[in-house]
Chain A
């Protein structure tokens, strides 16, 4: 029989205050199989680990149970420790007596009894554990980045810099994301396009980067290190290699639609360049609005194109890429402001969202950077900014803080002041959140020196009276209701996951949080990784984020991937399904049950397991009618023994 050592952690007071560790030690010392038992304040500390190592050596232990916190936290710590001393890491079991016991109970006697049982089940499991070796699998050293905003661009550049090939998939006709729409960036007020376009150009010219624009991920197969991803590319109908960018086509196009780049504040044609610095630089046809697909109806652009670059017959194309790891950088959109009817967006042209105001501030915007309001082109002399428009409102809109609005709203107010010196900006706020580096100073300076008035309270209503926008708000500091006759109102809309990301999450089988943002593997310790192996997160796809944070996360995710790519092969957990060939009847039920395609019938009609593909989910094991399939180190015998202990 195995000689088992049990190590009970106090976790400071986290466990000790609710579980009587001394009594536990006494009771378990006489449990069959237990050769050695000890308790200690912090088992995860160096002295704690040394205690385990010393006991293995001196008492010749061949199985260890550490009763401590959840295995998601310290299982690997203890596995490494036992391996250092030569014990196979699968001869270690963690009994979770913190999250599943001490934290959720307060009766010491009962909690101690429960901890005792939890540890005994771990001992019973351990008794039948085999020593295992990780499964090795090959690694495709190519990376896919989904989303071509600042986060995606940064991640792609860093990975290409590390020497690996990158495939960047962007659903719009150009990379650049929302950052290309911005005027200047807080807190330094440097021009957004000036700092972004060099990166875009770098990316466009990088030989290691394959760019798919107008494209989306269609399907995925395989597993970490060995994905096969199908990309669907919508045609742009203009061959970028032939197009001379002369612009004759746009001049004759009869279709006029709202410009996405200018957030609906200006117009574009159905054949257009998304914006001057677009990458790839080419005209593209917007199929939803173009009339040319009915040759009788139109076809003007094709007639005037001397280079003969336009071809209406191009079809949607599909590409398959072999990929080792994927970064999701799908960014954000603004919460539809039409949902907040009391602010009158959509009804009044002089109520704008934050991105629209960015366009008005921008030199490449609809007014050429002049501060003019949309309704009548007049210079607005008083502007009201409304923060938390849809954020921090669990009842009707979004419960979370959108994190970037406090800063960009102040930036808006400042830039407005720089353009209209005698203008008066007012900012309605509930709290000011300025936690970033030099953010607070940015705000203080504006309030002291630039005449920006902050009003603490939420706006209830905005309506039009003559050519003014009347704003009814509250100043909770004086306790008085406030009315402002403004010329323009700007709403700091909540940040929401970008449109279409829900579908992508389904396609890639990823997880999202209750707001639709991608879920990280651990909120503090693994914020760059998805819960699903092989997927990494960058930028606002994971949650509202400003540019510095998006770039940091993108570089961080890239570093994670570079570390992965530096290995020759990937190692796969060996806790997977195994089949007893003599018992398998070849019914094939497991094949349909396996979500990973890891079960196949071999020539002898035995349903074997592909070790690389198997994720150890256990679905086939519970489905197997003959009991031929077993999970390694979690066999029926082990589970039965564990249940028996609990019921005894």
Chain B
């Protein structure tokens, strides 16, 4: 429950990386919370989407990268469609996931999913999960 805010952290290289990957301006966010209130899976998240945006504004990218929330996000685009500032929040979440996946963090191994019978599971589901969770 303590954050030391430093000038050097604000808009640091990690923030710029997130902005580059997502094509969004993190500092557009004015914390109305609409992304979180419309999020259908926010109840499973450890931090809310608007908190992730806030942490990013402080340059605390690591904190978001290690959160559970970026993996809970199902890319339903509800947040993006309602953001009053036009931030594509889902793209920002994707950027966080991408950084992790490219570092080998959170990559799902299909063998560990415990799926024994693939014929019962539609290909659309498996391919989509693999595409999202392997980078």
Picked from A393, A459, A474, A479, the residue with its CB within 8 Å of the CB of B84 is: A393
CB nearest to B48 among chain A residues: A479
Chain B residues within 8 Å of chain A by Cβ, number: 21
Picked from B32, B37, B86, the residue with its CB within 8 Å of the CB of A472 is: B37
Q: A430 near B51 (CB under 8 angstroms)?
A: no
B85 in the interface, Cβ–Cβ < 8 Å?
yes
Given A474-B48, A479-B47: A395 and B36 interface contact (C-beta under 8 Å) = no
Give the residues in chain A near B83, CB-CB below 8 Å.
395
Q: A460 near B50 (CB under 8 angstroms)?
A: no
Which of B14-22, B38-46, B91-99, B118-126 lies on the face that meets chain A? Answer: B38-46
Q: B82 near A342 (CB under 8 angstroms)?
A: yes
B33 in the interface, Cβ–Cβ < 8 Å?
yes
A156 to B105, CA, bound (A): 71
Given A474-B50, A476-B31: A457 and B37 interface contact (C-beta under 8 Å) = yes
Q: A481 near B85 (CB under 8 angstroms)?
A: no
Contact with B along A460-488 (1 / 0, CB 8 A): 11000000000011111001111000000
B27 in the interface, Cβ–Cβ < 8 Å?
no
A394 to B32, CA, bound (A): 13
Chain A residues within 8 Å of chain B by Cβ, number: 24
Contact with A along B34-72 (1 / 0, CB 8 A): 101111001100011011000000000000000000000
Give the Cβ gap from B122 to chain A, nearest Cβ, in Å.
29
Q: A460 near B84 (CB under 8 angstroms)?
A: no
Give the residues in chain B near A461, CB-CB below 8 Å.
37-38
A571 to B82, CA, bound (A): 54
A392 to B118, CA, bound (A): 49
Q: A479 near B51 (CB under 8 angstroms)?
A: yes
Give the residues in chain A near B36, CB-CB below 8 Å.
457, 474, 476, 479, 481
CB nearest to B84 among chain A residues: A393
Q: A481 near B48 (CB under 8 angstroms)?
A: yes
Picked from B33, B47, B84, the residue with its CB within 8 Å of the CB of A457 is: B33
Q: A396 near B37 (CB under 8 angstroms)?
A: no
Q: A474 near B34 (CB under 8 angstroms)?
A: yes
Q: B84 near A473 (CB under 8 angstroms)?
A: no
A226 to B39, CA, bound (A): 61
CB nearest to A482 among chain B residues: B37
A396 to B34, CA, bound (A): 13
Give the Cβ gap from A392 to chain B, nearest Cβ, in Å.
6
A397 to B86, CA, bound (A): 11
Q: A481 near B42 (CB under 8 angstroms)?
A: yes
Picked from A396, A430, A482, the residue with its CB within 8 Å of the CB of B32 is: A430
Give the Cβ gap from A481 to chain B, nearest Cβ, in Å.
5
Give the residues in chain B near A458, CB-CB below 8 Å.
32-34, 37, 84
A456 in the interface, Cβ–Cβ < 8 Å?
yes
| Residue positions of A touching B, CB distance < 8 A | 342, 388, 392-397, 430, 456-461, 472-476, 479-482
- A-B contacts, 12 of them at CB < 8 A, read A397-B84, A458-B84, A460-B34, A460-B38, A460-B82, A474-B36, A474-B37, A476-B51, A480-B48, A481-B42, A481-B43, A482-B37
| Residue positions of B touching A, CB distance < 8 A | 30-34, 36-39, 42-43, 47-48, 50-51, 78, 82-86
- Sample of 16 more A-B contacts, CB < 8 Å, known A395-B86, A430-B30, A481-B43: A392-B84, A395-B84, A430-B33, A456-B33, A457-B32, A457-B37, A459-B37, A461-B37, A474-B34, A474-B48, A474-B50, A479-B47, A479-B50, A479-B51, A481-B37, A482-B37
